[in-house]
Amino acid sequence: METIKSVDIYELGSPGEKSSPWSSTILIVKLTSSNGNVGYGEAPTTFMTLPVKESMREVERVFKDQNYFNIEKNMREFYKHSFYLSRSMEATSALSAFEIASWDLIGKDLGTPVYNLLGGEYNSELRAYANGWYSDCLEPDDFVSRAKEYIKKGYTAFKFDPFRNNFDRIGNDGIKKAVDIVSAMRSELGENIDLLIECHGRFSTKYAIKVGQALDEFNPLFIEEPIHPEMELGLFDFKRYVNTPVALGERLLNKEDFARYISQGMVDIVQADLTNSKGILEAKKISAIVESFGGLMAFHNAFGPVQTAATLNVDYTLTNFLIQESFEDSWPDWKRNLFSGYRIENGHFKLSGKPGLGITADEKLMEKLIYDGMEEFNKNEPSWVVSGTYK
């Protein structure tokens, strides 16, 4: 029986992250097995780096010395001890990292990619949409000219937040500015480019409806988190008055949460995040629930390369895959070079086909990037927006 012999937790980072300031630090767990294999997992940060880091130490107490093939058993054991797991993103994030690393070990032990253990390859290439690309973009021309640079790289879908510093409410002037940006993107880029509208859960219901109705004419692929997440009942009214499909899920923590949303018709496109909703196996379960209600999957993927690799292994197997978020072409070099193995070419992801998650760590670079502390704080701009856009 192979077990988890040692656990190493790395906080890595470098100041000045513009594409995703919420991820200027990343948390990586390295599990070394009794046979010498190594598995990697990742936990999200988003203004909770240190709490998640400490929670990873709690997960270590349950997982260390256990058989990492026993995914269900180990997850259930932590569930038994973690009283607030169903409501604690810190706990689910820490747990997800260990679950992902366990799969990496399993794949390496068996000499096969993780996706072969989840149903096999259904999608050989995965269409990506660009995010993080619009740092410092404020005016319509800024968005259009930057998007055209990414079209040259092969992207055919763009997510962006056109709402500047409006929060909770938005007036006619704010709506007009957003309309001008989306209108310019549609008219300049054409109907064959998909536009994905990011709201970051910033609006109360009344104002979200106004925004959604104003943008319907531009035929977005979806509108993401239009309403404050704790006001989810407002989604019923939103969907009654807005035609654009609703996407959400990065703040939901388990399959039971997703089952409630999809079964009640509150969401069309599910954006579960493997790194905070209990990992790879839970993602397969969530996808099956969503599929049974006719929904599509577009996993949230806004942190680091281990998250991307884990997410792609699930994407490969899904019959209800829609599109995959990518920050890769907006990342700083340090994050892009941490792991190798998957690639993005002509706007599509491709895995390496190597065992486990299919990635290899640059451990020397990891050692150079060790960081201790919280993400940078900017009192004038929340960490959840792309830099230079909240003005």
pLDDT of residue 18 exceeding 70, the answer is: no
* Residue 351 contacts residue 113 (beta carbons within 8 Å): yes
pLDDT of residue 17 exceeding 90, the answer is: no
pLDDT one-digit tens code per residue, 351-374: 999 999 999 999 999 999 999 888
Please state the rounded mean pLDDT for residues 130-156. 97
pLDDT at 16: 67
Query: Which one of 81, 200, 228, 348 is the catalytic residue?
Result: 200
* Residue 2 contacts residue 18 (beta carbons within 8 Å): no
pLDDT at 383: 87
pLDDT at 1: 85
Active site (annotated) includes residue 200: yes
pLDDT of residue 23 exceeding 90, the answer is: no
pLDDT one-digit tens code per residue, 164-208: 999 999 999 999 999 999 999 999 999 999 999 999 999 999 999
Beta strand spans in the chain (E): 4-13, 25-33, 38-43, 126-130, 157-160, 194-198, 222-224, 246-248, 269-270, 296-297, 324-326, 339-340, 343-345, 348-350, 360-361
Give the pLDDT band (50/70/90) at residue 46: confident
Query: Which one of 81, 228, 300, 348 is the catalytic residue?
Result: 300
pLDDT of residue 217 exceeding 90, the answer is: yes
pLDDT at 41: 98
Active site (annotated) includes residue 300: yes
Give the pLDDT band (50/70/90) at residue 82: very high
Task: Find the helix packing angle between 49-63 and 71-81, rounded to 10°.
Answer: 120
The pTM assigned to this predicted structure is 0.97
Question: Exposed, middle or buried, 81 (CB in 10 Å: 0-12/13-18/19+)?
Answer: exposed
pLDDT at 386: 93
Domains of the chain: 4-112 (3.30.390.10), 116-356 (3.20.20.120)
What integer best gives the mean pLDDT of the chain?
Answer: 96
